């Protein structure tokens, strides 16, 4: 299985001379497993990915969306294969619990004349949509993809991708669950039990994964002002990787205001300050980085 990062920034694209080393595109990950092409999230990184696919077309492609925030879907209208006949594009993601609309709404909303010059009805590829529920398993050839409900202000599905005994887990946007009540308050113990169960369920889905790709947007100090925003820290990602026995951890969803130099600085500081014994590979995700497992 081969994994390649095409976008590693969070919230908004941040191109320019200060982000050249790690890249300024938002989230997109390419996974090759045998003959299957699986794409995790459709941030702006999906556009440069699409430009590399022309020699292979037409073909089947499977895009799994973690959630519908802009930085994870804003590249979808620029995914070039959707405009080329005979391509089969399969788009997967969670339904909207408020509107009850399925994953097809992602293109339906973006491809309106108010926002884009081409309507969904004018796409030339064969478009297929499948809305997913937490715990659902999707089989793509010999590849197994399991959906896991993570912790974010909107429904966010993490994905475990398995092929020939190898595995990768991508959290999408994820903040470790925390108790809204204070110790001693009436519902504190009830929420503690719920948090423990939710954490155990997520950890079980990541158990012994070969590659864990996790949301590490903030430092521990930054998180104090941003609790509830739905993102993790370097420390929480390291702790999660250690709990589940991950062999490799790649921290992603980099804060868009950070230059490459600052990104490396806060990462090294987090590693130095960690009280945990880190006996696995921990790296910052960067555009163009390819992993073979």
| Measured distance CA(71)–CA(224) in Å, rounded | 23
Nearest Cα residue to 150 out of 169, 130, 137, 163: 169
Please enumerate in sequence order all residues whose Cβ is within 8 A of that of 190, keeping only pairs 6 or more positions apart, or say none. Answer: none
Q: How confident is the model at residue 218 (pLDDT cuts 50, 70, 90)?
A: very high
Q: What is the pLDDT of residues 131-171, one digit of tens each?
A: 999 999 999 999 999 999 999 999 999 999 999 999 999 99
How many Cβ atoms are within 10 Å of 84's Cβ, its own excluded?
16
Q: What is the pLDDT of residues 21-44, one digit of tens each?
A: 999 999 999 999 999 999 999 999
Question: Is the predicted pLDDT of residue 188 greater than 90, yes or no?
Answer: no
| Measured distance CA(4)–CA(106) in Å, rounded | 24
Length in residues, the chain: 293
What pLDDT is stored for residue 161 in this prediction? 98
May I ask the CATH class of domain 2-292?
Answer: alpha beta
What pLDDT is stored for residue 191 in this prediction? 87
Question: 126-135, 178-187, 238-247: lowest mean pLDDT where?
Answer: 178-187
Q: What is the pLDDT of residues 43-76, one digit of tens each?
A: 999 999 999 999 999 999 999 999 999 999 999 9
What pLDDT is stored for residue 86 in this prediction? 97
Percent of the chain with pLDDT over 90: 89
Question: Is the predicted pLDDT of residue 184 greater than 90, yes or no?
Answer: no
What pLDDT is stored for residue 147 in this prediction? 97
Q: Does residue 156 have a cis bond before it (omega within 30 degrees)?
A: no
Percent of the chain with pLDDT over 70: 100
Q: What is the pLDDT of residues 84-130, one digit of tens each?
A: 999 999 999 999 888 889 999 999 899 998 999 998 889 999 999 99
What pLDDT is stored for residue 121 in this prediction? 87
């Amino acid at each position: 299985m081969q994994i390649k990062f095409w976008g590693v920034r969070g919230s908004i694209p941040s191109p320019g001379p200060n982000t050249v080393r790690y890249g300024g595109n938002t989230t997109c990950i390419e996974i090759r497993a045998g003959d299957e092409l699986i794409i995790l999230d459709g941030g702006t990184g999906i556009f440069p990915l699409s430009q590399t696919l022309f020699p292979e077309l037409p073909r089947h492609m499977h895009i799994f969306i973690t959630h519908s925030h802009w930085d994870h879907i804003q590249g979808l209208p620029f995914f070039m294969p959707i405009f080329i006949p005979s391509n089969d594009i399969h788009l997967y993601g969670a339904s909207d619990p408020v509107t009850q609309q399925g994953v097809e709404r992602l293109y339906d909303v973006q491809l309106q004349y108010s926002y884009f010059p081409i309507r969904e009805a004018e796409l030339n590829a064969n478009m297929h949509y499948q809305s997913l529920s937490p715990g659902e398993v999707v089989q793509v050839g010999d590849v197994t993809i399991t959906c896991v409900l993570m912790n974010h202000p909107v429904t966010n599905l993490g994905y475990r991708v398995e092929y020939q005994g190898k595995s990768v887990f991508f959290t999408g946007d994820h903040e470790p669950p925390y108790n809204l009540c204070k110790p001693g308050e009436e519902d504190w113990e009830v929420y503690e039990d719920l948090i423990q169960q939710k954490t155990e369920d997520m950890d079980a889905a990541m158990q012994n994964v070969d590659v864990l790709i996790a949301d590490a947007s903030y430092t521990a100090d930054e998180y104090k002002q941003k609790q509830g925003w739905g993102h993790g820290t370097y420390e929480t990602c390291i702790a999660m990787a250690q709990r589940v026995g991950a062999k490799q951890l790649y921290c992603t969803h980099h804060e868009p205001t950070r230059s490459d130099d600052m990104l490396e600085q806060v990462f090294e500081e987090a590693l130095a300050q960690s009280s945990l014994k880190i006996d696995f590979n921990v790296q910052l995700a960067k555009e163009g980085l390819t992993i073979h497992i």
